[in-house]
Amino acid sequence: MPWTAADIPDLAGKVAVVTGANGGLGFETSKALAVGGAHVVMGCRNLVKANGALDSIKQLDPSGSMEIVELDLGSLASIKEFTATSLSRHPRIDLLVNNAGLMALPERRTEDGFEMQLGVNHLGHFALTARLLPGLLGAQEARVVTVTSAVHHIGRRIDPANPNLEGNYGPWKAYGQSKLANYHFGIGLHRRFRRAGLPVASLLAHPGLSNTGLQATSSDESGGGFTQRVGVWMASAMGMTAARGALPQLRAATDPQARSGQMYAPRYMNSGDRFPGRSCAGTL
């Protein structure tokens, strides 16, 4: 039988941190985890949208336990403040879902001078995970789930001499680089955890082609280029719902059979009614 959100085990007593929790996959992930009994820390940059998302979940399940903590993954100062606040309230963190992301945007920089997609999609989550490590180590069997994309296949390794792609920038080139970095990060984290004998699992998830609004945002901010317009059309015409697209990361985060070093994705890469896991630990 296909795995669904109904298969999520009882999460009562667990603390989950979800980035980009106010919309799309992050919203559906937060909702499912809260309905499952976890206390969800919603890391969001847009607090107006975050409060609307929290209210929507509360209407569905008034008993859901959630809180909003402001988080801008494009700011190392914001990440530091978020993690300090979260750990002061929750010394133990059972689940971290590195979900937030930007896609194929025009060239710009983060507050700290990094190329925006690399800075938010990868470096921000790298710093966040590192700063939350004390809480993850405080849990009995914590999991870190990092969301990558099939676009990581067209990504190229980061050039240490030019990580920001200065003079060689392309919206999809930068996105592919960031998603490949996510992939390497998830597997590298798995290997480091195992080597150190730590009780923390690192898994990856690919949501497939999901109609979440990410494509529309990319198109709007890029001026509606051809590839962005095609992406919007494909997502609306053929994409899975956000609730369905969130299933790979939910399964990676909650399935008792999931193991560190695995990636969960739709069976047919961008679609499918099943979301099996496969080991990626030996692929790098």
Contact assessment for residue 31 and residue 111, using Cβ atoms and an 8 Å cutoff: no
Has 175 been annotated as catalytic? no
CA distance 208 to 272: 9
Contact assessment for residue 111 and residue 77, using Cβ atoms and an 8 Å cutoff: yes
Tell how far CA 153 is from the center of its chain. 18
Cβ burial 55-79 (10 Å sphere, 16+ → b, else e)? eebeeeeeebebebbebbbbbbebb
CA distance 141 to 198: 9
Q: The tokens of 263 are what?
A: 């990636």
Rounded to the nearest 5°, which phi and psi values hold at 263? -125, 135
Percent composition of the chain: helix, strand, coil (DSSP 3-state, to 5)? 45, 15, 40
Considering 169, 175, 264, 268, which one is annotated as catalytic? Answer: 169
Active-site residue set:
169
